[in-house]
Structure 1
Amino acid sequence: MSTDETTATTTAAVPGDSPFRSEPSTRDEAPQYVLPLVVRIERAAPPARTDALETAARAVLVLLGDERSLGEGEWARAVRDWQDARIRKVVRRARGAEWRRAEALDGVTVTGQAAEVRVFPPVPLDGWPKDLAKLQVSGTDLDDPEPPADPEPGVPVLWLNPGLEMSAGKAMAQAGHGAQLAWWELTSEQRAAWRAAGYPLAVRTAAPGQWRDLTACGLPLVRDAGFTEIAPGSATVVADHPALR
């Protein structure tokens, strides 16, 4: 697998046969799907790392809350099949004509301060559209030109583990996992309020002592399956949504 492909487990209170459990499950027998995310990285003007992470997390929420993903919507069957199996997200990069071809495919483009991420309805693990399959998964190393400001009060924060080194692509997928876990934990009214506000959120790296506290307070916690970059079972993100405290 590529360095930017990831799945996860979690210690969050997801009832029943969770798609994030690391143990073998009947979910492994179901057809496997993946959620494609494409980040625009132009050579002359790459986005800042934190901006890209936050935009990717919002893109996952936009997909989950889109009317086409709900009920009898045109994406709903693919989203249900994806969530009935293991949850996988893959981040690829595009520029120039590659990006224009990606934008022509069915999906939604989400913008941040400068970052652009396009999210697509889930596809079979071995059934990527040709124009997405050709995109590179490497080369998503991004930097912040200066340290990000403290999150605004009351904004949901996806806290990254300070003890892990992850490429931007890997971290984007992990932030997406964290946002999805928070979404699942919210009531329908809380989801509607988050959606109406435009899915405000921040992604930040926790301080070591803060990370210990966060992982012990019962908030949704992403644990990576360990296919790439980091060891299996590594805790990567805590989803700290004010409504879940």
Structure 2
Amino acid sequence: MKEFAQDTPAELIQPIILLVDRKEPAGELFGIAAAALASVQAFMREPENPDWQQWAAGAFAKSVRRADAKTFAKVLTAFPEHALVSVGQASAMALAPMPSANLPKLLAKLQVSSTTLPAGDPLPPQTLTIVLNGSLEMSTGKAAAQAAHALFAWVLQAKPFTVEAWAADGFPLGIQKLPAKDFRKGARKSAGPVIQDAGRTEIEPGSTTAYVAVSTPTP
């Protein structure tokens, strides 16, 4: 299991900005999927960037922050090197890792805690599905960070041709929440590391939060 702690000032974090529209917010699972996909697509754009290598060698900390539509547009303009992903009505952008203590002002002022989207429609399992521990009742922001951890861990561990085939297919991704018993059962067959949280926000230390499940397409 891979453990993720809250970021410290000296380390690198990956900023992920989730659009939370005040009038028509997207469904939660779609927002979680958009955040996780933005995280890995930012990496896949420039994997040779030395900041990625340093970041991935540690706990690859992420900071999921929320922005309304107006602020989200400002962030996109201010950081043209972003990776932008939309899943249904949900949108998220992600950047390469940067020092936690020196986040640009525009990013630093965006709120991190208590990010919540409405339940919305389901996002059915795909050949690649992020499974979340539903018993933890994580906020949307916390769940998005854990989902991004799990997906990134899978990308680093999977064979390159498997990741390339997934990308060529359009990055299909399902999100599923399971009760604790089913989550633990499925985790034994996970396709990547089972994410274990340090428990500094929202949940108890050592809680297992997410993993990636891969299914074989039916002919």
TM-score range, shorter chain: 0.7 to 0.9
Q: Report the equivalent of 1:93.
A: 66
Superposed CA offset, 1:159-204 (max 9, x none): 1113211100000000001101111221111111111112111111
- Of residues 29, 43, 46, the one that matches 1:64 is 43
Q: How does 1:116-127 map to 2 (within 5 A)?
A: 116-127=91-102
Q: Report the equivalent of 2:22.
A: 43
- Of residues 122, 125, 131, the one that matches 2:106 is 131
- Deviating 4+ runs (over 4 angstroms): none
Amino acid at match of 1:51: F
Q: TM-score, normalised to structure 2's length?
A: 0.88
Where 1:47 maps in the other structure, the secondary structure is coil
Identity %: 29
Q: For the residues of structure 2 that align with 1:40 and 1:145, how far apart are their CA atoms?
A: 15
Q: Report the equivalent of 1:108.
A: 83
Q: 1:201 to 1:207 in 2, by over 3 A?
A: same
Q: For the residues of structure 2 that align with 1:161 and 1:211, how far apart are their CA atoms?
A: 6
Tell me by how many angstroms 1:81 deviates. Answer: 1.9
Aligned residues: 211
8 A contact 1:109–1:117 mirrored in 2: yes
8 A contact 2:135–2:179 mirrored in 1: no
Where 2:206 maps in the other structure, the secondary structure is coil
Q: For the residues of structure 1 that align with 2:179 and 2:205, how far apart are their CA atoms?
A: 22
Q: Report the equivalent of 1:222.
A: 195
Where 1:141 maps in the other structure, the secondary structure is coil
Q: For the residues of structure 2 that align with 1:70 and 1:150, how far apart are their CA atoms?
A: 29
Q: For the residues of structure 1 that align with 2:190 and 2:20, how far apart are their CA atoms?
A: 36
Q: For the residues of structure 1 that align with 2:112 and 2:73, how far apart are their CA atoms?
A: 17
8 A contact 1:156–1:202 mirrored in 2: yes
Amino acid at match of 2:163: R
Q: For the residues of structure 1 that align with 2:31 and 2:159, how far apart are their CA atoms?
A: 27
Structure 2 portions without partners, runs of 5+: none
Tell me by how many angstroms 1:100 deviates. Answer: 2.0
Q: 1:214 to 1:96 in 2, by over 3 A?
A: closer
Structure 1 portions without partners, runs of 5+: 1-8, 11-19, 23-27
8 A contact 1:65–1:195 mirrored in 2: no
Where 1:228 maps in the other structure, the secondary structure is coil
Q: 1:45 to 1:241 in 2, by over 3 A?
A: same
Say yes or no: does 1:55 pair with 2:34. Answer: yes
- Of residues 52, 58, 77, the one that matches 1:79 is 52
8 A contact 1:110–1:118 mirrored in 2: yes
Q: 1:149 to 1:46 in 2, by over 3 A?
A: closer
Where 1:35 maps in the other structure, the secondary structure is strand
Say yes or no: does 1:168 pair with 2:148. Answer: no
